[in-house]
Structure 1
């Protein structure tokens, strides 16, 4: 028997005795007579002679639940990315808005300071006229309206006789002593001071009296 003829597999018919002859099933992929490949063979090659894919017989189709879970995870990841981007944009816009508001307020304060500095000579003349009782009638009403208008922009006048001297807000032009004085105080206001909020536009120019 040749090597090509030894590819059969002995089988014993069902119900037969041990003395019955064996039958062989020919499982050879090549016809021994013609030498052509047999179709439907049990070897590893397909009918066309190309290697068969060993995974063809396996079921790798994903289940519906697995597909839905995968799509849900992808959608959640994309939503998280969009939410993160939205939060960053919102934080950036909030910072920009706050910075813009601060810049606007600073520009407004600077503008008010410039106007106040230009009006200081006029305001000083009005205060001197008040001190000498020279301001009355329509001019007194105009002076009151001017003070009210400045107050709307946060302008505050300070410096009065009797208050304690503070070098951060007062400019002492004259100094005298008094044996009965216990602290240095303002006894004369030459020119009142003006401030806008915490910003001193001009210190009050005063005369002071203090202990010997």
Structure 2
């Protein structure tokens, strides 16, 4: 048995060499070699048979971008960025314009509110001048007539006008009905007399007119 597992080898010089290829060592009784070594040898043999690893450039399906494609991609990204910043700038400009409009509108409203409050505080003086004029105390050229003229002129420059005239259609938003008188001569509520005139500054009502109203007779 031992003779079958031993082989004689002859070297190129003609000398005989003895090679013991038995897996079990006759002196120690252990198996020669190891599973790990055999596995490593098998993996190495497999790698050698597979050939060298393919580089990323040689792998199938890997895109190879050219310089022209890269330039086009960069140009497209730049165009998108420019368009985005232009859009942001347009929105910022629109918001600024709206802000300025709101500020100007609020400023104008505050100005009118202040003027309206000043006029409201002076309305009793206007009422007294109207009564004096009805009694003939505001004759032309007198100091009181000059004062009334300047005061009314100042109010007119700010856009103040009277509300409530004889014969106007009654408007509850502008007029306050003190007396209601049925009449066959009217088909809608109509101002019959102005007891106390009202005043408005532009579209802002400062004081409603107190009036007597003719109502349609049933």
Partner of 2:105: 102
Larger radius of gyration: 2
More helix by share: 2
Partner of 1:150: 155
State the alpha-carbon separation in 1 of the partners of residues 196 and 164 from structure 2. Answer: 8
How many residue pairs get matched?
161
The answer on whether the counterparts of 2:200 and 2:206 sit within 8 Å (CA) in structure 1 is: yes
State the alpha-carbon separation in 1 of the partners of residues 131 and 90 from structure 2. Answer: 59
The answer on whether the counterparts of 1:181 and 1:210 sit within 8 Å (CA) in structure 2 is: no
- When residues 75 and 210 of structure 1 are mapped into structure 2, their CA distance, relative to the original with a 3 A threshold, is closer
* Residue pairs, 1:26-45, within 5 angstroms: none
TM-score, normalized by length of structure 1? 0.63
2:196 to 183, 191, 198: 191
Instruction: Name structure 2 gaps, 5 residues minimum.
Output: 1-50
State the alpha-carbon separation in 2 of the partners of residues 201 and 158 from structure 1. Answer: 10
Q: Give how far 1:135 is off.
A: 1.0
Is 1:207 the equivalent of 2:212?
Answer: yes
1:76 to 79, 93, 109: 79
State the alpha-carbon separation in 1 of the partners of residues 216 and 83 from structure 2. Answer: 73
Question: Which deviates further from its counterpart, 113-122 or 202-211?
Answer: 202-211
Q: Give how far 1:156 is off.
A: 1.1
Is 1:127 the equivalent of 2:135?
Answer: no
Partner of 2:173: 168
The answer on whether the counterparts of 2:198 and 2:206 sit within 8 Å (CA) in structure 1 is: yes
- When residues 177 and 53 of structure 1 are mapped into structure 2, their CA distance, relative to the original with a 3 A threshold, is closer
Instruction: Name structure 1 gaps, 5 residues minimum.
Output: 1-43, 46-50
Q: Secondary structure of the equivalent of 2:166? A: coil
1:89 to 83, 89, 92: 92
TM-score, normalized by length of structure 2? 0.61
- When residues 166 and 74 of structure 1 are mapped into structure 2, their CA distance, relative to the original with a 3 A threshold, is closer
- When residues 101 and 54 of structure 1 are mapped into structure 2, their CA distance, relative to the original with a 3 A threshold, is closer
Q: Give how far 1:63 is off.
A: 4.6
